[in-house]
Amino acid sequence: MSKRILLVVALLILASVPLQAVPYDFGGETFYIGQSIWFDKHFNWLTRDHFDDPRYAAHMEEVEELFNVNIEWELVGTGYPASAAIDYMLPRIIAGEGNFIVTTGESAIPILVANNLIMPVTEWINEEYFERLPDPFKSLSSFVNFKGENWAFQFGPRMMTEADVVYWNKDLFEELGLPNLYELYEAGEWTWEAMREIAIAVTADTDGDGEIDRFGVSARYGPDEWSLMTRWIWTNGATLAKEIDGKIVFDADSDAAVESFEFWRELIELGVWNPDWYAYRFDDGFVAMHIDLADDITYKRHVECNFGVVPLPKGPRADEHVAIEWRKWVAVLPITAPNPEAQIELWHAIFELAVPYIYDLEEWEDQYWEHISLLVRDEESFENFKWVTQNTQPAVLMDVFASVPGWDEALRQIRHGEKDARTAMAEMKPAVQAYLDEMFDQ
């Protein structure tokens, strides 16, 4: 029996496991799921299992009976997570409503907290809670804490991490006699310098028409993506801000951050970037290294490119590699939530996200990793994917910085060589710090 058939059989078995009695009773009230329209009414985003499927419709009915509740879906618009969550929550909170949970990106947490829209949940989302989560979700604890409180909990449906990784074309590397990225990574030599030298070696006009048609690097939104350029600073051990004596202080002008911005501009000036969006040119074999979300692997099932997966390279000031995830999907409670603990537990029962709503935790984890193993092309990619999932960390305050007028323009000026990174950050510092001071009343 194949791995795929075994996985399907296991999923069918677990789908039939009855839920146990719960000590929460909503008294027949209606509870609303404020889910992002991107995920629709899915039970499992990895397998695209949907609540319209009779199996999961029956599961939802069982949950409703156990909690004595009527569950309704309300799909939230496609605006970026903070604005979409605010648009959904604000009128309901003003009306005194609170019997709902809404999903958002974790980077929206500081903005939602500053606007007094969400409830701190540390009483229920704590070390005991994190122990209830399956292994692929353990990194959640580093995403939901802000200024000493936890503000969010596990997103549903279950999904893969959206941390950044590098996909690399193994056949192209071999054809050009380039270093194997798995070997570089294992030897601690997968660095910015290695990435730059490989990108230079790959970039070429292969058909003699005077136009570059093979590139060293590409990314989901190309080299002009401000968010990836910003996240890149973590690969050199930098951060956007740091906390000093309880105050959040601008730190994007550190030597490590400045070096990161300058490296990004250097790659652009070298001409090694494919200017196109998305992975199409990589999938067709014309790009050596593509930077994208780990979750993008779900769209590579049928590409001919023989690819591998490695974490992002590390900069000269970094001791370790990092897995950076921006806007990790989470769930939050409105400040008006009438029964926080029951609402949190109901959420986890709906999507089977934690014990006791996961019948067999070990089996659940095995299924999760088995699904990943069906998407990658080799054992090294699987191990790297697993490491990224288990070690992902947030790009702290990125949405806050992006809200400051001029931030995107400052990065554009760096990319296009109009200003050096140190000057651009020095000019932005007063405005960003003033915004932080006002937002967090410090």
Quick count: other Cβ atoms within 10 Å of Cβ 269? 12
pLDDT at 22: 80
Model confidence, pTM? 0.93
- CB neighbours of residue 237 within 10 Å: 20
Query: Residues near 137 by Cβ (< 8 Å), separated by ≥ 6?
Result: 154, 353
Please name the residue that has the structure tokens 């490296």: 263
Express each pLDDT in 307-364 by its tens digit: 999 999 999 999 999 999 999 999 999 999 999 999 999 999 999 999 999 999 999 9
Q: How many domains are there within the chain?
A: 2
Instruction: Mark whether 168 and 313 lie in a shared domain.
Output: yes
My answer on whether 138 and 36 are in the same domain is yes
Alpha-carbon span 325 to 393, nearest angstrom: 6
| CA–centroid distance for 413 within its chain | 27
320 and 332 assigned to the same domain:
no
CB 352 within 8 A of CB 18: no
The pLDDT of residue 429 is: 98
Residue at a domain's end among 325, 358, 377: 325
- C-beta of residue 58 within 8 angstroms of C-beta of residue 50: no
Alpha carbon distances (Å) from 244 to 13, 147, 250, 312, 396: 52, 12, 10, 29, 15
Domain assignment of residue 340, yes or no: yes
Give the pLDDT confidence score for residue 82 in this predicted structure. Answer: 76
Residue 432: inside a domain:
no
Could you list the mean pLDDT of each consecutive 10-residue stretch along the chain, which spans 442 residues? 41 47 92 95 96 97 97 87 87 97 94 94 98 97 95 97 98 98 98 98 97 97 95 98 94 98 98 95 97 95 94 98 96 98 98 96 96 96 98 95 96 98 98 95 90
Domain match, 17 and 116 both: yes
Are 127 and 211 contained in the same domain? no
Helix (H) or strand (E) holding 101: strand 100-105
My answer on whether 312 and 372 are in the same domain is no
pLDDT value at residue 7: 44
Residues 146, 165: Cα–Cα separation, whole Å: 26
Asked, for residue 135, whether it belongs to a domain, the answer is yes
In a domain, 436, yes or no: no
- Same domain, yes or no, for 215 and 89? no
> How high is the pLDDT of residue 9?
40
Same domain, 180 and 292: yes
Task: Evaluate whether residue 375 is within a structural domain.
Answer: yes
Q: Any bridge partners for residue 56, and if so which? A: none
Q: What is the pLDDT of residues 191-217, one digit of tens each?
A: 999 999 999 999 999 999 999 999 999
In a domain, 411, yes or no: no
Query: Kind of pairing, strands 247-250 and 164-169?
Result: unpaired
Please identify which residue in the block is written with the tokens 């058939």.
5
Q: In this structure, what CATH number is given to the domain that contains residue 89?
A: 3.40.190.10
Question: Rounded CA gap, 251 and 254, in Å?
Answer: 6
Residue 408 domain flag: no
* C-alpha gyration radius of the chain: 23
Both 229 and 310 in a single domain?
Answer: yes
| Cβ count near 318 (within 10 Å) | 19
The string of DSSP letters for 13-66 reads HHHTPPPPP-S---TT-EEEEEEETTTTTEEETTTTEETTSHHHHHHHHHHHHH
Residue where a domain terminates, one of 393, 421, 437: 393
- The pLDDT assigned to 20 comes to 67
Domain containing 68: what range? 3-160+326-393
* H-helix or E-strand spanning residue 391: helix 379-391
